[in-house]
Amino acid sequence: MNHYILIWSICTFVETRVQEEIHLEDLARQTGFSLAHIRDVFRKYTGKSLSCYMQERKIANAAQELLCTDKKVIDIAVLYGYSGRTVFSRAFRRHTGYTPSQFRSEAPSLPRIRLCAGVFGAALPQRQKGIEGQTDASAFTGS
């Protein structure tokens, strides 16, 4: 079975609700598949868990807000469903290598990537490690 349409449905579902609390039961209802099947197919064809993907999309979109708006970090954290600045900062650093404040002050470029056919979004910024384990703020990879 070609799972292209299911992956596309998941990506568009998440991307259009990235600033909301995402209810996976709604995703299951919309696609007509069980949540277990959705999770299995998503992991098999993308190499990552659905929950990791959803958190990555929240962080990538929050990174774009940090660069493109003057909103306070706490306001962006709440907008993307984080309970506070500390929780948001830990998640942001885990996925990017930056704290939100460092990211905003260094203002690296944030490319757009293709999430799946016809769906584009902000890339998840990541500092790359240098030879001695130092981070290089000018080098990014998109995920």
Sequence-ordered list of residues with C-beta below 8 angstroms from that of 118, at least 6 positions apart, any chain:
8
Residue 128: per-residue pLDDT: 58
Taking the model in full, what pTM does it have? 0.83
Q: What is the mean pLDDT of residues 59-64?
A: 96
Residue 132 has pLDDT above 80, yes or no: no
Residue 1: per-residue pLDDT: 54
Residue 139: per-residue pLDDT: 36
Contact 125, 137 (CB under 8 A): no
Residue 129 has pLDDT above 60, yes or no: no
pLDDT band for position 2 (cuts 50, 70, 90): confident
Q: What is the mean pLDDT of residues 15-25?
A: 93
Residue 29 has pLDDT above 90, yes or no: yes
Type of residue found at 55: Q
Domains with residue ranges and CATH for the chain: 4-136 (1.10.10.60)
Long-range contacts of the stretch 123-126 (C-beta < 8 A, 24+): 123/60, 124/56, 124/59, 124/60, 124/63, 124/95, 124/96, 125/60, 125/63, 125/96, 125/98, 126/95, 126/96, 126/97
Per residue in 94-120, pLDDT (tens digit) is 999 999 999 999 988 888 989 888 888
